[in-house]
Structure 1
Amino acid sequence: MKKTYFIWLGLQIVAWGFALLEFPSGIKEGQVAGTSLFFILLFILPLFAERPVIQTIFFSLQAIATVVVFYPIDGAWNPYVFPIHLLLLAEAAFYLTRFQSLVVLCFQLGSAICIVRNASLPTSTLTWGVLVYVFTVIALVYYQSVHKKEIELQKKNDALLDEYRKMKRLLLAEEEQVRQDERMLIGHEIHDSVGHKLTALVMQVEAFRLTAAEEEKEKIQSLKELAEQSLEETRRAVKSFKQHEVGGLQGIIRLIRKLELESFMKVNFSVKHGAFAAPLTGEQSFAIYRGVQEALTNIMKHSASRDAQVTFESPGGSVFRFEVLNVTETNPYFQEGYGLKAMRERLEKVGGSLEIDQGDHHFIVRGSVRLTERSGYRD
């Protein structure tokens, strides 16, 4: 109601400004009181946006106040009372229901008749005014009909959108559950088959070592250690299958997908050469994930635009960089909040840094992490 209210207020001020200049002998005390009542009701109208009955009373009182202000004295007619009445009627049709606007129409029509009856108007002017008035009422009735259908369609669209979001959340939850079930099933299969067989192999090798000749025991011991290492790696693999996957670059992709589905964000995700192959540690991957998550969440909360661009790059394989760009208007009161400070601290703990770039029409969050070289293993 805020924007439309100021539009109506501006139109009323313009119409009343011309109307007050039209008074030939100045404004009398009664006219000042009527004008004050009209604008008092106009200013407090937004306070009762959820109470249309009170708004109906206010509009009706405003129509009556125009009689006090514009009642013809010695047959003097103020032509600007006509646009003021039409604006009043248009406001009632915009804010109220069909029945409530008809109530206001009755009061407004009675006030107009009271003013016109005592004014010396030629027939042509009166006829022109009646025609414009009738056409305006017809247009407002048509607008209310179209507006009512638009409101009903909007409610249906909102209901469908709500159902769509619920279905998307349900599908995502079911997809995640299926993925976890598959991971658990694979983990159990590895544990029950490969793990048990490796355990039996270790036991048999140990039994064979105890009965083997002394010169063969060293070779058998190395075979046993190799089998134990294989068993330990198998256990780690089973454990990783049972863990819920969070963080990392894959987690960022899932986060972007979720925001696009549920929050209707438009995220342009680009990966430059070497980004996916960058040797990130677990802590570094998690810090990058939280950084991108915080940047996208801030866009969703504070930005007027839902468009974002996420870029990953690893120039030279020595540094991993991420950038989250949002095209939006400049906020002169911007200050780093708790989320950005926590993001900076998290990146600094893993040898990284954070940079905030706020321009005239963009807001950029850049983060970088220094990579550690991984030396190859020799068998």
Structure 2
Amino acid sequence: MKKTYFIWLAIHCVVWALAFLGFPPSLNEGRLASICLFFIILFILPLFTEKLMVQSILFCIQALATIVIFYPLDQVFNPYVLLIQALIIAEAVFYLSRLKSLVVIGVQLGSMTWIITESSLTASQLAWCGLFYLLLVSAMLHYQAIRKREIDTRKKNDALLDEYRKMKRQLLTEEEQARQDERMLIGHEIHDSVGHKLTALIMQFEAFRLTAAEKDKEKIKNLKALAEQSLKETRRAVRSFKEREVGGLQGVIRLIRKLEMESFMKINFSVKHGAFAAPLTGEQSFAIYRAVQEALTNIMKHSSTREAQVMFESPGGSIFRFEVINLTAPDPFFQEGYGLKAMRNRLEKVGGSLEIHHDERQFVVRGSMRLIERSEPYD
């Protein structure tokens, strides 16, 4: 809206500068007041963007003001009045609905008819003015119809896109719930079968140890310890089945895949050097996801392509690195914005760092963080 308004204002300034060449050297008070009223309305129009009725009234007042401004006192017709009234009609068609724009066009044609009848025009000049307005109104109304169809089509496409995204989110939610239900079922089966049998085996080892010979008790004790260790690992596995799989690199990739489907991007993943086994904490996983998300958002905003390379690696198991690469046009005025600064701060809070590299061919975001070795608790 802002850019469009300044374009209209620039055109008005050019046309009015030419129109003033056709005015007499001295202007009466009525013309000066009408010119001031015309430009006041021109400047306050952006204040009523959402109020179409007020805009319609203002356009009609502008049309009536042209009668006073260009009234042929000496029966001399100023041809630039055609361009000024054409601008009013074009603005009305651009901003208003069909019915309201027709009202403005009617007022405009009435004021123009009055000016023409008070001027001493030849038959050919009258015919030329009539043809000008006929072609102008026809072209404007045709443009309005095409623009209305485009707006309706855009609204339908937006509605379909929203529905598509809702269906995708619902599908992902249902798939995740089905996967979680399956994990719960497997966990229950392991707990009910393997867990109970291991518990019974431990009890039998203990009973056998009490009645066994002294030389066999150490072996039985070791076997019992092995069974207890197996039971603990089984319980730990059951707990992991019951928990939602939101942490680690798998969770990060799943969230990015969801973003990929919703934003219609093509993301090529590359996982290297033990990245899947990296012991990422919840805070680190969230920071990595947000960093990659911000990098992909920048691609959608500033890049002409919708394809990116995302690489994860954990060399040596002590450092985790990620890299987002996007082919882009050269930009000598690149500067970090709020999103990239927030990304850097978020990574630094979890002991990481961020590097941004921009050259003539690609835009690269690199992040790294030191991993914290976590010991797994036993029951």
TM-score, normalised with respect to structure 2: 0.87
Report deviation, 1:332.
4.8
335, 342, 346: which one aligns with 1:342? 346
Aligned 8 A contact 2:249 2:280 in 1: no
Q: Quick one: which amino acid aligns to residue 337 of structure 2?
A: F
Partner residue in 2 for 1:281? 279
User: Which 10-residue stretch deviates more, 200-209 or 359-368?
Assistant: 359-368
- Aligned ranges for residues 141-220 of structure 1 at < 5 Å? 141-220=141-220
1:98 aligned onto 2:95:
no
User: Which 10-residue stretch deviates more, 231-240 or 112-121?
Assistant: 112-121
1:305 aligned onto 2:302:
yes
**Structure 2: which 5+ runs fail to align?**
375-379
Q: Quick one: which amino acid aligns to residue 55 of structure 2?
A: Q
Q: Quick one: which amino acid aligns to residue 271 of structure 1?
A: S
287, 292, 306: which one aligns with 2:289? 292
Partner Cα distance (1:372, 1:55) in 2: 64
User: Which 10-residue stretch deviates more, 26-35 or 37-46?
Assistant: 26-35
Q: Structure 1's 303 and 372: CA in aligned 2 closer, same or farther, altered over 3 A?
A: same
User: Which 10-residue stretch deviates more, 221-230 or 155-164?
Assistant: 155-164
Partner residue in 1 for 2:232? 232
Aligned 8 A contact 2:319 2:370 in 1: yes
RMSD: 2.9
User: Which 10-residue stretch deviates more, 3-12 or 324-333?
Assistant: 324-333
Partner Cα distance (1:74, 1:310) in 2: 76
Q: For 1:177-220, what per-residue CA distance to the aligned partner results, in whole angstroms no more than 9, with x for missing partners?
A: 10110110010011001111111111111111111000000001
Q: Structure 1's 225 and 314: CA in aligned 2 closer, same or farther, altered over 3 A?
A: closer
Q: Structure 1's 373 and 148: CA in aligned 2 closer, same or farther, altered over 3 A?
A: closer
Partner Cα distance (2:126, 2:22) in 1: 19
Aligned 8 A contact 2:280 2:372 in 1: no
Q: Structure 1's 268 and 169: CA in aligned 2 closer, same or farther, altered over 3 A?
A: closer
Q: Structure 1's 373 and 299: CA in aligned 2 closer, same or farther, altered over 3 A?
A: closer
Report deviation, 1:162.
2.2
What's the secondary structure of 2:158's corresponding residue? Answer: helix
Report deviation, 1:369.
3.1
Report deviation, 1:365.
3.5
Partner Cα distance (2:309, 2:27) in 1: 61
Q: Quick one: which amino acid aligns to residue 88 of structure 1?
A: I
1:86 aligned onto 2:86:
yes
**Structure 1: which 5+ runs fail to align?**
375-379
Partner residue in 1 for 2:377? none
Aligned 8 A contact 1:248 1:286 in 2: no
Q: Quick one: which amino acid aligns to residue 310 of structure 2?
A: V
Q: Quick one: which amino acid aligns to residue 232 of structure 1?
A: K
User: Which 10-residue stretch deviates more, 264-273 or 116-125?
Assistant: 264-273
Report deviation, 1:245.
1.1
Report deviation, 1:333.
7.3
1:23 aligned onto 2:23:
yes
User: Which 10-residue stretch deviates more, 186-195 or 11-20?
Assistant: 11-20
Q: Quick one: which amino acid aligns to residue 279 of structure 2?
A: T
1:270 aligned onto 2:269:
yes
Partner residue in 2 for 1:377? none
Q: For 1:142-191, what per-residue CA distance to the aligned partner results, in whole angstroms no more than 9, with x for missing partners?
A: 22222333333333223222222221111111111101101100100110
Report deviation, 1:84.
1.0
User: Which 10-residue stretch deviates more, 164-173 or 225-234?
Assistant: 164-173
Q: For 1:81-135, what per-residue CA distance to the aligned partner results, in whole angstroms no more than 9, with x for missing partners?
A: 1111111111111111121111111110111112112222232222122112101
Partner Cα distance (1:46, 1:282) in 2: 53
Q: Quick one: which amino acid aligns to residue 79 of structure 1?
A: P
Partner Cα distance (2:269, 2:174) in 1: 28
Report deviation, 1:38.
1.1
Report deviation, 1:301.
8.2
Aligned 8 A contact 1:275 1:312 in 2: no
What's the secondary structure of 1:120's corresponding residue? Answer: coil
Partner Cα distance (1:95, 1:153) in 2: 18
Report deviation, 1:23.
2.0
Q: Structure 1's 60 and 258: CA in aligned 2 closer, same or farther, altered over 3 A?
A: same
Aligned 8 A contact 1:322 1:367 in 2: yes
Report deviation, 1:364.
4.6
Partner Cα distance (1:324, 1:224) in 2: 51
Q: Structure 1's 21 and 331: CA in aligned 2 closer, same or farther, altered over 3 A?
A: farther
Q: Quick one: which amino acid aligns to residue 247 of structure 2?
A: G
Q: Quick one: which amino acid aligns to residue 99 of structure 1?
A: L
What's the secondary structure of 1:282's corresponding residue? Answer: coil
Q: Quick one: which amino acid aligns to residue 268 of structure 2?
A: F
Q: Structure 1's 301 and 51: CA in aligned 2 closer, same or farther, altered over 3 A?
A: farther
Q: Structure 1's 145 and 303: CA in aligned 2 closer, same or farther, altered over 3 A?
A: closer
Report deviation, 1:339.
5.2
Partner residue in 2 for 1:6? 6
1:324 aligned onto 2:327:
no
Partner Cα distance (1:91, 1:23) in 2: 24
Partner Cα distance (1:359, 1:40) in 2: 49
